[in-house]
A and B are shown apart, each in its own frame.
Chain A
Amino acid sequence: MTSDLLEVADLTVDFGAVRAVDGLSFTLAAGRSLGLVGESGSGKSTVAAALLGLHRTSGAEVGGTILLDGTDVQQASDAELRLLRGARAAMVFQDPLSALDPYWSIGAQIAEVYRVHTGSSRRAAAERAVQVLDRVGIPDAARRAAAHPHEFSGGMRQRALIAMALACSPKLLIADEPTTALDVTVQAQILDLLHELRVEHRMALLLVTHDLGVVAGNTDRVLVMQGGRAVEHGPVAEVLGAPADPYTRELISAVPRLDARRAASSVAAGEVLLSVQELRKEYPVATRGLFGRRERLAALDGVSLDLHRGEALGVVGESGSGKTTLGRLLVRLLEPTAGRILFEGRDLAHASERELRPVRRELQMVFQDPLSSLNPRRTIGDAIADPLRVQDRIGEPQARTAVGELLERVGLPADWYGRYPHEISGGQRQRVGIARALALRPRVLVCDEPVSSLDVSTQAQVVRLLAELQREFGLTLVFVAHDLAVVRQVSDRIAVMRAGRVVELGVADEVYENPQHPYTRQLLAAVPVPDPVVEGDRRVARAVLASASAVQ
């Protein structure tokens, strides 16, 4: 087929002895879209980089053939490749902050790319930059083009990067996890924008992502990768609707569903165990003027809620909503600016560290990043044993036995005491984090984004483990996360947060099936669902919601 814009045949990429991509073949016709899906380490991003010959400077060995718009990427000279890059095939990266040069203004960076490829005047290039920035929805683009990347929000930065891709009207857009770093409502906006632009410019799209929901609404065909190989390749409706390969099936079943009710509720909720009233946390920000007042930002702006014994409360919200601040205040890792934290009738809001010590064993926390929340120089066994040594002052043999039991309970081999955090996988590290939090048999466990850094299949396992442990230990669980579908799997009640406040609080099924607050509705509409038909409808629904809120 010579009509294909992109033809990849038998592609292999080797980093030393490691084969990252192993015999991959696919084609992409002009104006069509292909999703490249896989978990971390599947080689999907490596493929994306190979398409533009970006491995040339990295020392990786690339085999097979890549034909992009008539250019043989493998055989082309550096100069020929440069003509291709950005002009005929442009790339959008995952982290738009680090992907843009911090020293240059956004407009200047886009203009530079345009000038390199068109040889136009500085003036014309600057105009083109403003034009594309305007097209991707940057308000007041002419003025904002002079801003630097750090002055843009995450979503705006991703828009800017898409504008850069658009500058030379490429035939192929390669998007490598373009929305992974973004909030769910922003993700929906960016994906809708990509969809619009693709239709408008008849661009082909290669979308690299770990999220099957993102693929469903945005691609015609999908290629599922595992360990550098293609395990399944076909039209998106077929692959997601009737997966033939066992790995694909497993992947799809692991994706948490927004519309799935929770199997069984946890223990019947008892009396109020932990209660916060009018909780406020402020941080000082920049001071204005010479003798100006120090301005303060309220990360948490008057939150009141009760936590009942044995219940699981899900806290959802986007970045900056104050959900992590609330989580840390609940276990008194932070001191509130105002308000009360009542635990068994005692106000912990301003208790001293000495007063808190006995309470600490009751209130424990599992952190988001299991790698950075474990000391890299201490073994995982010591990490788990430390709380026991501090609180119970137990001897070494007892500590070792206790750690062995805990490791086994979270699904790790009991004899892993001497392993270091870097020697185990992300999911295993999070299990260690959970074991450490459980060591003192706490009554309240706050989990702050416990699975957001994990692959879907690992995510499902850890969520299942938490649900089991909750039942077994009669834990009162607070599950803080940005992913609404994951939260639904574990929660009896849901608190939806926005800008430091709880905007909706209710029984999980009611909040998901009959949301009352407009923001909850917006949030739910933004979650991508791994079903192409549903996603198509949801895109329309989002547009209606957006225009409705625009009218308001």
Chain B
Amino acid sequence: MIRFLLRRAFSTLTVMLVLSVVVYLVFYAAPHDPARLVCGKGCDGVRLAVVRHKLGTDLPLWQQYWQFLHGLLAGRDFDAGTDVTHCSAPCFGYSFQTDQPVLGMITARLPLDASLAVGAAVVWLLLGIGAGVLAALRRGGIGERALTGVTLAGMAMPVFLVGLLLMMVCCGYLQWLPFPSYVPLTQDPLAWASNLALPWLSLALVMAAAYARMTRSALLETLAEDHIRTARAYGLGERRIVLGHALRGALTPVITLLAMDLGGLLGGAQLTESVFGFDGIGRLLVESVNTIDLPVVVGITLFAGFFIVIANAVADLLYALADPRVGLQ
């Protein structure tokens, strides 16, 4: 167990390091000058040099990267010419555009994306696994066809279409729900849920089909195994066989898929955020890329990468807990 955690921690660090190098290389190789953008119209050579110095883009690439790394691990000082700001570790730097600390920009938006991802995951798990189990057990039934239809339609439609349609119907015509705007959970749980209900549903509809398909095939596979025949031969009822023996084996692969999807969504769900007008991490990333706001882009990339690597480790851990035959490697 300790060996597993240590090894995972090490590989996480390696992945983060490689990611940061790649992002730096890509952005500095790009033929844009962030200083010129910050400096704005009517910018002369002197002012441009000042801005460049302030942003640190006047230094060679490797020095910039070294400073970034130093800030991340040990903090760093920013010299704005007139005064010096200290940014303590872990320091992701300041946004080129807004001068805000990057870490704060991300953590401020994290509750929104976490609420969105986790809530949607609950909905799509219920929908996907339910449809998958029905599909495996009652092939060709009405309930199965309806659920499969809904999940397939959901997958076929992009989230902005589903989201807009849902908003039009539920908030516009029927006025069941308010037009979504994010309310923190700690502030008002009920408002939090009712505002997020539509984003959850539209995101879940897009994701559920994959889960339904996976559950269905895994369950059919498990139901054909020898130990299910044993359970039948010993007089166990069908409900007991499916819920007690087959489903457990069938759901282990779902763990891996879920961890990957959740890890991905925590790094931002651009489309969903945009449709519902949420100011989340995904939207911030798109804006930062457009304005070549390097510190923010690097920060979000590292965060997203971190979540995915961690989600993977958690998936392996859960998998080992769920299946007694699997050890932690």
Contact = CB atoms under 8 A, between A and B. Distances in A.
Interface in A87-113: 87, 90-91, 93, 95, 98-104, 112-113
Contacts of A390: none
B325 A150 contact: yes
Contacts of A77: none
Interface string A268-298: 0000000000000000001000100000000
Interface in B206-262: 225-227, 229-237, 240, 244-245, 248-249
Interface in B1-42: 2-3, 6
A148 B245 CA distance: 14
Given A98-B225, A103-B249, A93 B230 contact: yes
Contact of B235 (A99, A113, A161): A113
Contact of B234 (A57, A86, A286): A86
Interface in A316-335: none
A100 B228 CA distance: 8
A150 B235 contact: no
Given A148-B324, A148-B325, A150-B324, A99 B226 contact: yes
B247 to A, nearest CB: 10
Given A54-B229, A99-B229, A103-B323, A112 B3 contact: no
A54 B226 CA distance: 12
A114 to B, nearest CB: 10
Nearest to B225: A98
Contact of A85 (B234, B249, B327): B234
A102 B323 contact: yes
Contact of B3 (A81, A95, A117, A290): A290
B236 A52 contact: no
Given A98-B225, A290-B3, A90 B231 contact: no
A22 to B, nearest CB: 23
B236 A98 contact: no
Contacts of B249: 101-103
B26 to A, nearest CB: 38
A113 B324 CA distance: 21
A490 interface: no
B235 A84 contact: yes
Contacts of B236: 82, 86, 112-113, 116
A286 B4 CA distance: 13
Contacts of B232: 54, 57, 85
Nearest to A58: B229
B234 A102 contact: no
B278 to A, nearest CB: 40
A148 B323 CA distance: 10
B159 to A, nearest CB: 36
Q: What is the interface of chain B mostly: helix, strand, loop, or mixed?
A: helix
B23 to A, nearest CB: 34
A164 interface: yes
A113 B323 contact: no
Most-contacted residue by chain A among B2, B230, B237, B324 (CB, 10 A): B230
A83 interface: yes
Given A102-B323, A150-B324, A290-B2, A85 B233 contact: yes
B226 A113 contact: no
Contacts of A54: 229, 232-233
B230 A100 contact: yes
Interface in A414-466: none
A410 to B, nearest CB: 35
Contacts of A103: 245, 248-249, 322-324
B235 A85 contact: yes
A387 to B, nearest CB: 38
Contacts of B234: 85-86, 90-91, 113, 116, 164
B318 to A, nearest CB: 14
A102 B325 contact: yes
A54 B233 CA distance: 7
B326 to A, nearest CB: 10
A93 B230 CA distance: 8
B235 A93 contact: no
Interface string B84-114: 0000000000000000000000000000000
Nearest to B327: A286
B323 A93 contact: no
Interface string B289-329: 00000000000000000000000000000000011110100
Contacts of B230: 91, 93, 99-101, 161, 164
B228 to A, nearest CB: 8
Interface string B135-164: 000000000000000000000000000000
A101 B229 contact: no
A91 B233 contact: yes
A528 B3 CA distance: 49
Most-contacted residue by chain A among B233, B248, B324 (CB, 10 A): B233
Contacts of A150: 324-325
A117 B232 CA distance: 13
A86 B226 CA distance: 16
Given A148-B324, A150-B325, A290-B2, A101 B227 contact: yes
Contacts of A117: 235
A102 B237 contact: no
Most-contacted residue by chain A among B234, B237, B249 (CB, 10 A): B234
Given A290-B2, A290-B3, A98 B235 contact: no
Contacts of A83: 235
A116 B225 contact: no
A113 B240 CA distance: 11
Contacts of A86: 233-236
Given A102-B325, A148-B325, A116 B2 contact: no
A112 B244 CA distance: 10
Contacts of A87: 235
B59 to A, nearest CB: 42
A49 B234 CA distance: 12
A87 B236 CA distance: 11
Given A103-B323, A148-B324, A148-B325, A98 B226 contact: yes
A113 B235 CA distance: 8
B239 to A, nearest CB: 12
Nearest to B2: A290
A185 to B, nearest CB: 25
A92 to B, nearest CB: 9
Most-contacted residue by chain A among B6, B225, B232, B235 (CB, 10 A): B235
Contacts of A95: 226
A148 B231 CA distance: 16
Contacts of A164: 230, 234
Contacts of A84: 235
B233 A102 contact: no
A536 B297 CA distance: 81
A100 to B, nearest CB: 6
A86 B236 CA distance: 9
A347 B322 CA distance: 49
A87 B226 CA distance: 20
10 contacts: A83-B235, A90-B234, A93-B230, A98-B225, A101-B249, A112-B240, A113-B235, A116-B240, A150-B325, A290-B2
Given A103-B322, A116-B235, A164-B234, 13 more contacts: A82-B236, A82-B237, A86-B235, A93-B226, A93-B229, A93-B230, A98-B225, A100-B230, A101-B230, A101-B249, A117-B235, A148-B324, A290-B6
Counting from the closest, the 5 A-B pairs by CB-CB distance are A86-B234, A85-B235, A98-B226, A82-B235, A86-B235
